[in-house]
Chains A and B, each alone.
Chain A
Amino acid sequence: MRFLLNYKLLLIIVALFTILTRFINLSNNPPHLSNDEISIAYDAYSVLKTYRDEHNQFLPLSFKSHNTYKAPLTTYLTIPSVALLGNTNFAARLPTTLLGSLTVLVLGLLVYQLSGNRFLGLLSSFILSITPIHILASRMAFESTNALFFFVLGLYLFIYSLNKNKSFFTIISFIAFALSMYAYHTEWVFTPFIIIVLFILYYRSLTNKKIFFAGLLIFILLIAPLFIDFLNNMHSTTRATTDNILKDPTLAQKLENPSFLAWQKISFIFQAILEKYSSYTNFSYIFFSGHNLLPKDDPFKPGLFLFTFLPFFLFGIYKTRDIYKTNAKFIYILLITSPLTASLTLGPPSISRNLISIAPVSIVTAAGLFMFWNISKLIWKLIFAIFLTIALFYFSVVFYYHFPKDNAEGFQYGYEQIANFIKPRYQEYKKIIIDPRFGPVNIYSGVPHLYIPYYTYLDPHKLQNRKSLKHGSSFDKYEIREYYWNEEIEKDTLVVVPVSNPPNELFKVRFVYEVALPDSKPAFYIYTSSKD
């Protein structure tokens, strides 16, 4: 009875946390659609209206985006929500938020299947429901969030089919695995690897081996178009060729240096991968400071997981063997190998590339928390509850209060507001020039050519037929290019410039609007050559 009470209470808490943390103020936190989000949202809108993306490609399997060649699933999933809810932030984020929320449920079911303990399953759901990085990833149109959902779903269905001896679910699990590969690039490497691991570890438990191979065949058939597209359009390998660790400037320099021997070059590659792997598995990064919600040196920056869970994660590593028994080996492999794909890539630690790791970390932490809950006295449980409340409180104020204020510029904040300014006045101007630079001394370059058409519902054909300019592009009455105030300005022109590029006093333009960041600092100024 006590267990049932705990179970029901925890179920309600998990559902509440999942919904509240992921859906409250979804449109405005993160404060603006990011660079990648707007690309997904705009391509969804463009495909919805014309069956073609911003680059005029017919129903692509790899969206060129800003030369980042995005995996297709998230964009296609966004089409229905954009069709139903219009070109809004909410519509762009809703599919990911729904799948992110469902991941909490599916992870719990997976842990239940792995351990045979539904309280443990619920604990893992609870951990994921309040995991800072998954909250953020569920609130953005993140490809990796959707990939994580399908990956965890695939695992759950596979283990379920083994436990219940229901072959049909093996087939479905392979479909989920295939979808995970359509959702994000990390899974291109990781999902096939895990399928091999599953085959090796559970080969003896497979009562119907033919079904496994039938599932595998379906999986191969399903991902075939993705790879045919990959081979036919080698440009879509851009990401694999430019983002891989061999392109790291320091490493590349050493590899090109003829004075180093072959074994030394291999050692350099190994060192680079080890360093990357080390940064992804660094406890400080995972539990204390890896979540870049605040500026770099801000001590209030949270980790990917709440710091309270660190001791349970460590205890969980130790106890996984006892709790997950025959499945423990699989969990250890998942835990050790999940950061590997991300470790083969360039640049600083990326949350999206390594999002897959949050599944094994949650599973292991749940084991530690479960054991703690079973063996500890009430006083320790109370101490845990106090620390958890403190960690949650700090994360909440950082995420819901400070982050939208402190980090708005990083999300190219302002273009939605500019679009909202332009939309009712569109007919008043013959030309609209937008300088895409922003940030202190204009160090960043934004993508207003996507934000403005998305929020103003511009006919996608116009962007598909854009013309290239010397330093930008033009479509419809828009010119997206760096603007310098020594140019002649035509009559009835609207000029949007970043705050670091104001006109000099001699220039006869009329100031019409200021777009401010959430912390009230100005971000963009809008001027016109019109007199009224």
Chain B
Amino acid sequence: MQTITVSPIAISSFLCLIINVFFSNNNIISSLANSLALGLSIYLAQSSISLPKTKFLLFFIPLMGFIPLFHYAPIDNVFSLFLLLILIFLCLLQKKSNIFLLILFGLVIFIGNLYLSGLVKPFFEVQYPLFIFNSPEVNFNIQRHQLDALYIPYQLRLIIYSQLINIYVFLANLFNLFNIKNLSDILLLANFYPFFLGLYNFFTKKTTLTKIYLIAIITTFFIAGIDRSIGSFKSLYLLAPVFVYIILLGFKSINKVFYLIIFIVSLFILISPKL
């Protein structure tokens, strides 16, 4: 079983750079960071999965340059570097799993997501109104029900209708992010197919990367859940290497003809103006 050569990865990175610069009109820092991140993500994933070297794979890998998440430019260019920093940590962790590195990796993801989501502005300006527990609507309704729920004594109402509801709001907020539209916007509709197949493998066949990626997923989900201004690109940008890994995991089982058909359809949607 041979692993793929570097050339398709270079093509995908180059394609990604072209799209970033000429189609998404991103600045050079974000464009370079994105294309480098894509190349590194594919390299990391393929070295962990050891995909068979087939003609289709050589064709498939460059197509990953079309993944819209890698065409995203954060509000501040510097935030693009978080993605590269994460990938450097991933490379180090894959070579040697170390608890100290793992904690640092978790911290980078945590801080990176805080800045990307806008919950914290440079340098340490916490945006309290953007947190779900500061939602005026939620707090108003908690108070309204506390006064309104005459079926139980007032003291009990304070427990039943309390800030604990924010756990529910957190989950609702988080799962709202993972709808088909959002995933299609960030991954491209065609990649759903290998993504869902890969997701099945992700939870059944555990590798070193799986565990590390789980830390990234949980941290990102936590930040996304507490953010009132949740958005698919800014909230999931740092998970881009994980998505690439999962898509490549599912690649082995895809029907190639079917994939190519939906890829062409997806491409039309991608280049068409948005509704």
Chain A interface residues toward B at CB < 8 A: 250-251, 254, 260, 263-264, 266-268, 270-272, 274-275, 277-279, 281-285, 287-289, 294-295, 297-300, 307, 310, 318, 397, 401-402, 405
Contacts and interface: CB of A to CB of B under 8 A. Distances in A.
A300 B137 CA distance: 11
A42 B130 CA distance: 50
Contact of B184 (A274, A307, A401, A405): A274
Contacts of A401: 149, 151
Nearest to A281: B180
Q: Name the interface size band of chain B.
A: 35 or more
Contact of A284 (B140, B151, B173): B173
Nearest to B184: A274
A289 B275 contact: no
B194 to A, nearest CB: 17
A463 B189 CA distance: 53
The majority secondary structure among interface residues of chain B is helix
Contacts of B174: 284
Contacts, number: 98
A284 B272 contact: no
Interface in B229-258: none
Given A266-B268, A287-B175, A318-B203, 11 more contacts: A254-B275, A263-B272, A270-B269, A271-B274, A282-B180, A283-B179, A284-B172, A299-B169, A397-B149, A397-B151, A401-B149
A267 B268 contact: yes
Contact of A282 (B176, B200, B274): B176
B142 interface: yes
Contacts of A254: 275
Nearest to B139: A299
B157 to A, nearest CB: 10
A300 B145 contact: yes
For the complex of A and B, the 7 pairs showing the least CB-CB separation, nearest first, are A297-B137, A278-B181, A288-B172, A267-B272, A284-B176, A283-B175, A278-B180
Given A274-B180, A299-B165, A402-B145, A268 B175 contact: no
B153 interface: no
Say whether chain A's binding surface is mostly helix, strand, loop, or mixed: helix
Interface in B141-177: 141-142, 145, 148-149, 151, 160-161, 165-166, 168-169, 171-176
B172 A289 contact: yes
B273 interface: yes
A282 B179 contact: yes
Nearest to B152: A397
A294 B144 CA distance: 12
Given A299-B165, A307-B171, A318 B275 contact: no
Interface-central residue, A260, A266, A272, A284, by most chain B CB under 10 Å:
A284
Contact of B178 (A271, A283, A288): A283
24 contacts: A251-B275, A254-B275, A263-B268, A264-B273, A266-B268, A267-B268, A267-B272, A270-B265, A271-B275, A274-B180, A274-B181, A275-B181, A278-B182, A283-B175, A283-B179, A284-B174, A284-B176, A288-B171, A294-B141, A297-B138, A299-B142, A299-B165, A307-B168, A397-B160
